[in-house]
Homo-oligomer: A and B are copies of this chain.
Amino acid sequence: MNNKIEIFDSTLRDGAQAEGISFSVEDKIKIVRALDKLGISYVEAGNPGSNPKDLEFFKRIKNEKFKYTKLTAFGSTRRANIATEEDDNLQSLLDANTPAVAIFGKSWDYHVTEIIKTTLEENLAMIKDTIAFLKSKGKEVVFDAEHFYDGYKSNPEYALASLEAAKEGGADWLVLCETNGGAFPDEIYRITKEVVNKFPIKVGIHCHNDGGMAVANTIMAVEAGATQVQGTYIGFGERCGNVNLSTVIANLQLKREKKCILEDQMVNLTSTARLLAEVANIAMNEREPYIGNSAFAHKGGMHIDGVSKSPKSFEHIDPRKVGNKRRVLMSEVSGKSTLLSKMQKVNPNIKKNSPETQNLIDTLKKLEHEGYQFEGAESTFELVIRKHLGKYKPFFELKYYKIIEENHARGDNTSSALVKITVDGKDEMTVAEGVGPVNALDKALRKALETFYPQLKEVYLKDYKVRVLDTDTATEAKVRVLIESTDGYNLWTTVGVSTDIIEASWIALVDSIEYKLIKDIEEKVRAYI
């Protein structure tokens, strides 16, 4: 039995129709290369007829060879009542010079008469002529039957007639499009099965996610016999998006014994998603199945206890199979065993029933009640444990800081900070200006500390986030500040909470600096051993 499913990625065409997405020619080239590396069968890379930037892309990429991917150009059937040879869009499609083309045509009678406003007969001729023309030019032709399922529900004879026209034109593939995205998996299975039984041509499926069921609809079409799956790699596209191919690939290849991409590339499923999100410049939804940062993150105490005994207790697959990883989150709902493993990193002698363990749980509950959250602030969490276990001594003592901010009507605004600290009995006092009070404080503190700890010169802040807690109390509310720092090699994150945003930032800043200094000492100790 042949269990191959051809994956057809439209990130660069349907994906580019998502809100907030725009690709440069260079972006597109990077994405095609990444998808080829995985072993994706088809990459639909643009609509050369409607978009000159897409035509430029096809020209730029024309000399590049791909190992697994057939580059595909997208376009519509010829316009009504003209010859295929006279249709500019079809000419642009040929100019794109790709081995495969995807042609969409109307399968829903309503769209024919009300949207493109031609006759039902002419629409069938448009489908047949266009495909025959492209076949005569040596192309592999994928026919996208737009709105096929809505069309079938409204007028099954006509929807099937559109596929018949494509067959007569010589189409290599009949792809059934669930364009408006609102269909249900039981309908998809039934209708797809009927098409597979009726036509001796390979069938594909193209789903949108407006009912939140694109993945299931796609899987059900495959169960009914479809062997091509169209979608976009991380699911963005018009409106709610296309089906997320990373989810479909993992579902089919890991659980239904289908072959979608190269077996040895399954471990790159997650990193490829990150790369595409990076290139597209979008923040990925971290709860995305398989590839999201939270996909294997455990927070509930019983869940953490379960996975620590046996991962399969709360994981449907081993995250390493898709290049993702398990994460254990710290919070009020996570239990003792997580905490213990973190405490044992600082002091291996701590046991589950050591008094320190319960004390630390109490401390954490108190801190969380105050608004602390350690999930994204592992470094502050480690410092809390160290302080708790007596494995901490401060690197400096604060005498005071003062902030002075002046904002004059004539736009002469300044933020400045004074900091006075003591290290080993030596005082240091500094002052700095910044673009705001927190920036000024950050600069003044570093300036003071660099005298004693020159390695802090390489540290800089990479990310700064503010969350207002209990927003109802407005400017009296508590704020939580998260800071991500780096020294060029490592990344670490710290947190501070206060009703005063400057104080919350101060707490997170101090943790960031102390964490760096502790790690430097540990490294020296390791090198010495």
Bound-complex Cα distance A285 to B235 (A): 12
A313 touches B185 (CB 8 A): no
In residues 422-463 of chain A, which contact B (Cβ within 8 Å)?
434-439, 442, 460-463
Which partner residue on chain B sits nearest A466 by CB separation? B466
Please pick, from B53, B217, B438, the residue contacting A332 in the complex, using a CB distance under 8 A: B53
Question: In this complex, what residue of B is CB-closest to A117?
Answer: B309
Q: How far is the CA of A392 from the CA of B66 in the complex (A)?
A: 50
A219 at the interface (CB under 8 A from B): yes
The interface centre, meaning the residue of A332, A397, A398 with most chain B CB atoms within 10 A of its CB, is A332
Given A19-B329, A247-B212, A405-B502: A219 in contact with B184 (beta carbons within 8 A): yes
Please tell me which one of the listed residues B281, B301, B415, B502 contacts residue A467 in the complex, with CB atoms under 8 A apart.
Answer: B281
A471/B464 in contact, CB under 8 A: yes
Residues of B contacting A223 in the complex (Cβ-Cβ under 8 angstroms): 186
Contact (A213, B209) CB under 8 Å given A51-B333, A111-B313, A289-B240 = no
**A146-181 interface (Cβ within 8 A of B):** 179-181
**Does the CB pair A439–B400 fall under 8 Å?**
no
Q: Is the CB of B469 within 8 A of A19?
A: no
Q: Other than the known A26-B472, A211-B316, A474-B484, what 20 A-B pairs have Cβ atoms closer than 8 Å?
A: A17-B300, A19-B293, A52-B365, A114-B310, A115-B313, A182-B317, A211-B215, A212-B215, A212-B216, A212-B251, A216-B216, A235-B287, A239-B297, A240-B287, A281-B469, A285-B285, A397-B409, A401-B407, A413-B500, A436-B498
Binding site for B on A (CB under 8 A): 16-20, 22, 24, 26-27, 47, 50-53, 76, 110-111, 114-115, 179-182, 184-186, 209-213, 215-217, 219-220, 223, 235-236, 238-241, 244, 247-248, 251, 255-256, 281, 285-290, 292-303, 305-306, 309-310, 313-317, 329, 331-333, 365, 368-369, 373, 375-376, 397-409, 413, 415, 434-439, 442, 460-472, 474-477, 479, 483-484, 498-503, 505-506
